[in-house]
Every structure is written in structure tokens, then in C-alpha cells.
């Protein structure tokens, strides 16, 4: 059955030697750790987290879901987040993903669609610079970012064709990221979520 996971990343990122890959899904030798007939991955830039969609058996799903660094979404993605909200927020915020906007009435599908858009913003940002915005902290005001992050964030929006927020200087980075991600269309992975 096709399932969605947010999981840690292993690997230094050295191409052909030690590529970045989702922990619990792909081993050091790039061989699958599960018998997935389908496995798609979307990284959050160089941050140590990936969104994975995999065709897993019930046994594989149980083993993967039991890992403390994995958030497994339910099979019924239309169900509301509900009482899982505090745990989901804590998991996302721990890996520098803004979760302030989530509420219990949002569905898991809505969350996954938004994550694919945020991951696309982060990937473009890191394509433009060696810095990662996760290192800055989500609660830093945009105007307090160092010069490179300040300018590259704006360039990220421009190269993605996104509108820049007005009066951005006092906005926290989490709000700028939410504003940018909200404007993107779904990624290919999120297209499967419609």
C-alpha cells in the first residue's frame, strides 16, 4: 500500500560514494532496506529530513513507523490531523519546518501538499547559495538575517516567480516561508495527492 513518511536523512551527499538517502528505506550500498515496489523521495534542501512515498507492506510500515525519527501519515489522508496536532507540530518544528499555521481541522493531505511546496522553496534557496535557512532559526525576523540569506531569500522568490511579501523586514522567517510556499503549485509528488 502507498504510504507517506517524513524521515531522517543519512549520507554525506558525496555523489557516487555516499549519497543522501532516506534512513530506514535505502542502505549504504544504495540497496533498498524494504521491498518497496515504489519509492519516491523529496529532500528539504540539505536539511536532514526527507519526504518519502513508498509502497510498503503492513509489516514494513509497522517497523518504519516505530522509529523515533519517522512521522508516518495515515492511509486515509483526508482525515483531519485532530488530536495528533501537538505531536505533528513538534516533529516538524524539530526539523526546522514551520508548523505554526497547522490546526486540528487540516487534513494530512493538506499538510503533505504544503510540505512539497516548502521543500521546493528550500531546494531553490540552496541551489542559489551554500547557506541553509534552517540554520538561521524560524523565529528570526527576516530583517535580522545575515546579508547572504537576506538577499538569497528574495532571489529565491524571484526565480520561482513568487510575489514578495510587503513589509517583510519585521516578519519572522517562518511567516516568509509560509507566504512563499503557499504560492507554489503542487510538486509532482503532491500531484499524486489530489
- Digit-coded pLDDT (tens) for 58-105: 988 998 999 999 999 998 999 999 999 999 999 999 999 999 999 999
Confidence of residue 149 (pLDDT cuts 50, 70, 90): confident
Confidence of residue 191 (pLDDT cuts 50, 70, 90): low
CA 160 centroid distance within chain: 17
Cell of 177: 516561508
127-159: b or e for each residue (b if 16 or more CB lie within 10 Å)?
Answer: eeeebbbbebebeeebeebeeebeebbeebbee
Res 180 pLDDT > 90? yes
Res 136 pLDDT > 60? yes
**Which residue do the cell numbers 486515509 mark?**
76
pTM: 0.89
Please report the pLDDT score of residue 17 as a whole number.
81
Cβ atoms within 10 Å of 164's Cβ, excluding its own? 12
Mean pLDDT of 96-115: 95
> Considering Cα of 144, then 148, then 149, then 153, what sign does the dihedral take?
positive
Please report the pLDDT score of residue 30 as a whole number.
61
Query: What is the tens place of the pLDDT at every residue in 18-64?
Result: 888 888 887 666 656 676 667 888 988 888 899 999 888 898 899 89
CA 31 centroid distance within chain: 23
Single out the residue of 92, 47, 63 nearest to residue 3, CA to CA. 63
Amino acid at each position: 500500500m502507498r504510504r507517506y513518511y517524513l524521515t531522517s536523512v543519512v549520507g554525506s551527499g558525496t555523489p557516487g560514494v555516499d549519497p543522501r538517502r532516506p534512513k530506514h528505506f535505502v542502505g549504504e550500498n544504495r540497496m533498498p532496506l524494504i521491498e518497496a515496489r515504489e519509492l519516491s523521495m523529496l529532500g528539504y534542501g540539505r536539511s536532514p529530513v526527507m519526504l518519502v512515498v513508498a509502497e510498503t507492506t503492513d509489516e514494513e510500515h509497522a517497523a518504519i513507523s516505530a522509529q523515533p525519527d519517522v512521522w508516518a501519515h495515515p492511509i486515509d489522508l483526508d482525515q483531519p490531523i485532530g488530536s495528533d496536532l501537538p505531536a505533528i507540530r513538534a516533529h516538524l518544528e524539530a526539523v526546522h519546518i514551520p508548523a505554526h499555521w497547522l490546526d486540528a481541522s487540516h487534513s494530512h493531505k493538506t499538510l503533505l501538499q504544503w510540505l512539497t511546496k516548502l521543500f521546493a522553496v528550500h531546494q531553490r534557496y540552496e541551489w542559489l547559495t551554500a547557506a541553509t535557512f534552517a540554520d538561521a532559526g524560524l523565529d528570526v525576523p527576516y530583517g535580522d538575517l545575515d546579508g547572504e540569506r537576506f538577499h538569497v531569500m528574495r532571489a529565491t522568490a524571484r526565480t520561482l516567480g513568487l510575489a514578495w511579501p510587503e513589509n517583510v523586514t519585521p516578519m519572522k522567517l517562518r511567516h516568509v516561508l509560509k507566504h512563499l510556499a503557499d504560492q507554489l503549485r503542487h510538486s509532482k509528488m503532491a500531484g499524486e495527492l489530489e
